[in-house]
Structure 1
Amino acid sequence: MYDQFTRLGPKEFSGTTDPFVTEGWIRSLEVHFRYLSMGDVDRVSRAIYMLRDDISLWWEGAEQGVNLATLTWVWFKDIFYEKYFTSDVRGRLKMEFMSLCQGEMSVTSFIRKFYKGCHFVPLIARDAAEKLWHFMDGFRATIRRDVMLMRPTDYAAATACAFQADRP
């Protein structure tokens, strides 16, 4: 199983202060895990195998407080996030998302930030009507007006309408 896993080319993790990079690393591992139909024990051992440098040293200390035989993937992620994607960082990102407005951003930049931010507010991301409303509410007035005139019925349609409204 290690050969299959390493042949897929998962990224090593040596730490970062960027929470999106941290979250991206976990999500990229989960793609590999799903593809290989790995269970909890294998997921944890593969993730630990990918830790490098200071992160590897951190884990040596952190693992003293856990039983590796019963450590689940969800529990590993909780321990990992507590160190590298703390609840205060997640809370700050959630607040940034809730107050996200296009302002002087391009439509492309706003859509990118909205898409990333949805991850931190699952109640909005999972409710199609709420997601559409929050998305459209964040546009500057001229874009919002033009998008609303096109009457999009979902987020994907609103995204297409926003690009169309932004054309000169």
Structure 2
Amino acid sequence: MASQGARADPVASREESGESVEGSVAPASAGRVEVGRESGGADAPPSPGGAPVAGLPPEYAQIFQMAFQVQAQAQAQLLAQAHAPAPAPVPAPGPIIPIIDCNYERIRKMGATEFEGTLDPEVVERWWEKVEDVMNLVNCTLENRLKYIVSLFVGNALIWWRSVKRGYELRGITWAEFQREFDDKYRPKMYRDKKRMEFLNLVQGDDQTVAEYELRFAALAKYAPEAIVTPEDRCYRFEQGLRPKIKKGLAVRITNFKTVVESAVRMEEAVIEDRRKWKRRENQHMQ
């Protein structure tokens, strides 16, 4: 029978029911096409959360993920810089102090004169102070001062130096030893003791200004370092030598030497002005 011999086509029956068939394309009613594969459409935009949307090929997903990580790091760095404290200002460089070389020709040009070996301690003192000033100006180190100072010796001073040097041939003489030998010869202990006592007994003379007294004080202070160990000691010693009328005006104890000298000068000016006023009143009374 035709009705019994006829068989239904299974593919056609599944197509009529809407089921997918292997090797065939899903009908348009399914409404879904994979992006980037069959459709050939553009890459999907990233999702708002920072990760690529589902459905991209693995290599595109990895690229989008790396891009979002770089962007996140850049934003974090900008945020940190915005909240970072401002860098401290770089101080301006100080003045450049030229370095002057210490050499034989230069120290002579700057005023260091030859030393003949005089036995007058006052003359020796002035020569030594001048040479020390020159050595400081040319930045001469303690190690080099010895050779430059003895280069100035002539006559009896050179004879004396050669004799002293022979006693130190085995190990060489140090700067401190040279100073001691020089002082013993040209600034003997008797002279230094005399200067020390002069400092300890120093007072401002009746016809001496505060400025003149301060100069003498500074010149003799080196002979009695034990008497002015601290700044307070130095100020106290200076005050004690002032004239009574000036010292009386310094009621407050001052511990800065520059300040005590300036205060004494102002007090001296006030005393002089009071004396002038008294003389004017006396002259008016006599008239």
Whether the TM-score (by the shorter chain) exceeds 0.5 is yes
What is the deviation of 1:86? 1.1
Contact 1:93 1:120 in 2 (8 A): yes
Aligned to 2:127: 25
2:158 is the alignment partner of 1:48? no
Q: 2:231·2:256 contact (CA, 8 Å) conserved in 1?
A: yes
Give the direction of change, closer, same or farther, for the CA distance of 1:117–1:49 in structure 2 (3 Å limit).
same
Aligned to 2:104: 2
Mapped to 1, the partners of 2:131 and 2:213 lie a distance apart of: 27
Alignment of 1:56-95 (within 5 A): 56-67=158-169, 70-95=172-197
Kindly report which structure 2 residues correspond to 1:121-132, keeping only aligned pairs within 5 A, or say none: 121-132=224-235
Q: How many residues align?
A: 165
- Relative to structure 1, the CA distance from residue 81 to residue 68 in structure 2 (aligned partners, 3 Å threshold; closer, same or farther) is farther
Which residue, out of 211, 217, 221, partners 1:118?
A: 221
Quote how far apart the aligned CAs of 1:12 are.
1.9
1:140 aligns with 2:243: yes
Residue 204 of structure 2, aligned match among 94, 102, 118: 102
Q: Which has the larger radius of gyration?
A: 2
* Alpha carbons of structure 1 residues 10 and 39: separation in structure 2 relative to 1, 3 Å: same
Instruction: Find the aligned partners of 1:2 and 1:104 in 2 and give their Cα distance.
Output: 46
Q: Deviations over 1:75-121 (max 9, x none)?
A: 11111110111122111111111111223241233212111111112
Report the Cα distance in structure 1 between the residues aligned to 2:121 and 2:207, rounded to whole angstroms: 21
Give, in angstroms, the shift of residue 16 of structure 1: 4.9
Structure 1 vs Structure 2 CA RMSD: 2.5
8 A Cα contact 1:152 1:161, kept in partner: no
**Displacement after TM superposition at 1:37 (Å):** 4.0
Q: Deviations over 1:16-72 (max 9, x none)?
A: 5134x43443344344445344352x3222111101233223323333323286111
**Residues 125 and 105 of structure 1: CA distance in aligned 2, closer, same or farther (over 3 Å):** farther
Shift of 1:160: 1.1
Give % identity: 21
1:137–1:144 Cα contact (<8 Å) kept: yes
Q: Which amino acid aligns with 1:160?
A: E
User: Aligned partners of 1:78 and 1:59: how far apart in 2?
Assistant: 13
How many Å separate the matches in 2 of 1:110 and 1:37? 32
Q: Which residue of 2 aligns with 1:162?
A: 264
Task: Tell me: CA distance 1:68–1:163, structure 2 relative to 1, closer, same or farther (3 Å).
Answer: farther
| Higher RCO, 1 vs 2 (CA within 8 Å, ≥6 residues apart) | 1
C-alpha distance in 2, partners of 1:154/1:64?
47
SS at match of 1:166: helix
CA distance in 2, matches of 1:100, 1:37: 34
Code of the residue aligned with 1:48 in structure 2: it is V
Give the TM-score normalised by the residue count of structure 2: 0.50
The alignment partner of 1:43 has SS state of helix
How far does the alpha carbon of each residue in 1:133-168 deviate from its partner, in whole angstroms, 9 at most, with x for none?
11101112111112x146544221111122222222
Distance 1:60 1:54 in 2: 10
Gapped regions of structure 1 (runs ≥ 5): none
Aligned equivalents of 2:140, 2:108: Cα separation in 1: 15
Over 3 Å counting, the alpha-carbon distance change for 1:140 and 1:9 in structure 2 is closer
Cα distance in 1 for residues equivalent to 2:105 and 2:215: 35
Paired AA for residue 87 in structure 1? K
